[in-house]
Amino acid sequence: MSGGVGIGQHAKILVTEAGNLMVDVPAYIDRAAVDAVMRLGGLAGIIASHPHMYGAQSAWAEACGGADGPVPVYISEPDAGWLARRPANTIVWSDSLTPLPGLPGSPAVTASQPGGHFPGSVVVHFTGQDGVGVLLAGDTVGVARDRKWATFMRSFPNYLPLSGAVAERIAGHLDRYDYERLYDNFSGVIASEASAVVHRSARRHADWAEGRMDHLT
């Protein structure tokens, strides 16, 4: 789901046998969009990758809820201070989370907090229908325009990079996952060998950020 409202983020919906999870929400909500989500089976939860994505999450949770109330909204503890509202369906979590359990033939969906873009920035990992590991990176890892490299930014619109140490920390954190594909917060996709791309990109980022390539400037 994408559009021109807000910063044009692309919401992702993971459809699994254990339920559906929306990773980040569109900045706009209307009846047609909610109906489209409900036709997929509704939502078991919503998870935000970072505070820029909090936006309309309470409205989505309420619209996709049922008799038990709004669906759970999972918020990374280090970033919880950015919440404007904290309704009862808000679940603040730390370190790691399993928002959707594994079932026979359906591995669990997991999340963790590598930080970087925000102190509590979140990534979500799952296994695709083809059996390949997939990472939803939000703005923690940005995909470069040629799709062969990634970048690590504190602020994308202001072109403010993270330090080399933080870029390498993020790459190391992501080693807990087996992932072949990576999707960023917009239209960026690394379709294969994503883990290797992230590692070589972190090394390159560190080399430039820490001055080891200054002889080329």
Domains, in order of start, for the chain = 12-216 (3.60.15.10)
The answer to whether the CB of 166 falls within 8 A of the CB of 159 is no
The pLDDT value given to residue 5: 66
The whole-number average pLDDT for the span 182-209 is 97
Distances (CA, A) of 35 to 40, 42, 147, 159: 9, 9, 33, 37
Question: Maximum Cα–Cα distance for the chain, whole Å?
Answer: 64
The helix or strand, by DSSP H or E, that contains position 125, with its residue range, turns out to be strand 123-127
- Report pLDDT digits (tens) over 82-107: 999 899 999 999 999 999 998 887 78
pTM assigned to the model = 0.94
The answer to whether the CB of 58 falls within 8 A of the CB of 70 is yes
- Report pLDDT digits (tens) over 120-165: 999 999 999 899 999 999 999 999 999 999 999 999 989 999 999 9
3-state DSSP call for residue 26? coil
Tokens representing residue 115 in the block: 């930080």
pLDDT averaged over every residue in the chain: 94
Does the structure show a pLDDT above 60 at 1? Answer: no
Distance of alpha carbon 86 from the chain centroid: 20
- Report pLDDT digits (tens) over 45-76: 999 999 999 999 999 999 999 999 999 999 99
